[in-house]
Structure 1
Amino acid sequence: MAGDFRPVDRDGLVAHLAERITALPGRLRVIVDGAPPAGPVTLARAVADRLRSTGRDALAVDVDDFLRPASVRLELGRTDPDMFLDGWLDEPALRREVLAPMAACGTGRVLPRLRDAERDRAFRDDPVPLGAGGVVVLAGGRLLGRGLPADLTVHLRMSRAALDRRLDPGQAWTAAAFDRYAQEGDPGGYADVLVMADHPDRPAFRER
């Protein structure tokens, strides 16, 4: 019900998520899921900054830096919604390089970026070491419902009408994929924190 949602500003949401993460022990994997206009990467970076200001190791990772090679993800064309939803993400690499290292028995060494999608070539980044209480905040779209291991999940819900208004014109074709993801994948049902983000600067959230 709408009354269950707590309105906040963006800074309030950042503070709340940082506080919730701080209350959890050990290495943590946090997922912030949402379409680009909802600002998942911006939110993840702000949360990571807040955590680092308290002395806790934290790294924000943009899922768009872990896409499959162009020859694979674009084999059905550059604007295929189904392929965008199901075939663009290099999920094995994401698990291997970002999420597995942050398991209790992992190395804590996280690769911040894998592939430059625009140039279609690998980055040459070194893994970033995160300490025993480190946090990786993985951010981007269409992440929930895949069984990715996470200790806290956040979904930024944006209506189709808001997506149509706010998506960059060159990315307008992705609205159909995000709409299918919302309808069939029910990411809000997976999320520990559901955020209504039609107006990203004036969100409201509900916790599970």
Structure 2
Amino acid sequence: MEPRERILDAASALLAEGGRDAVSTRAVSARAGVQAPTIYRLFGDKRGLLDEVAAAGYASYVADKLRRPASDDPVADLRRGWDLHVAFALANPALYVLMTEPRPEGRAPEQLEGMAYLEAMFARIAAAGRLALPEELALQVFGAAGNGAALMLLSLPPERRDPAVSHHVRDATIAAITTDTPAVSEPGPAAAAVTLRAGLGDVAVLSATEKALLAEWLDRIASAEG
């Protein structure tokens, strides 16, 4: 392998074995078989190296999800995605914490790809008339609950990590943001606004300006009624 790949592999292995503190320049250079200046030349500093490790973790995580075909039930896919997310966190605790910590410079492209995958899933749920909240709000609620459940479990000793905790939070969260039947069959404008908002991109008879205005109105209806 090229030095860059060897360094990333070494840093990832050290992170998995001993956590962030184990990823020292000396340890990485020894394990990768390179000189320390090579690490600085390729990654700048330890922070840069850890950011690259996190990006590689995201790439692997998203690639695994993209390999799984979607079913006919987008809500079932959302539930399965939650379980995969928490399972990844428990299998890769140090990497997960590194991946999810805030970064002032913004999200890496790999993280944005993961967000795009989740946004597409919520768009499918909304298009099916089964989203009870506006897409952006539902997405943020789901993300906050999923990350919170994973981090809470990781804060406990392994013997105290009860899978039932994740299952209860998952079911409560999905029940709060989705409906069992198409929402448009229920009275009230909010559900209809959410569903129409999801399909607005396919409307060809409106200009871009008209679509933007209608989208704003639909979001306001869904938020106020919801």
Higher relative contact order (Cα pairs below 8 Å, separated by 6+ residues): 1
- Whether TM exceeds 0.5 here: the answer is no
Higher strand share: 1
> Given the two structures, how large is their TM-score scaled by the length of structure 1?
0.25
> Given the two structures, how large is their TM-score scaled by the length of structure 2?
0.24
Bigger Cα Rg: 2
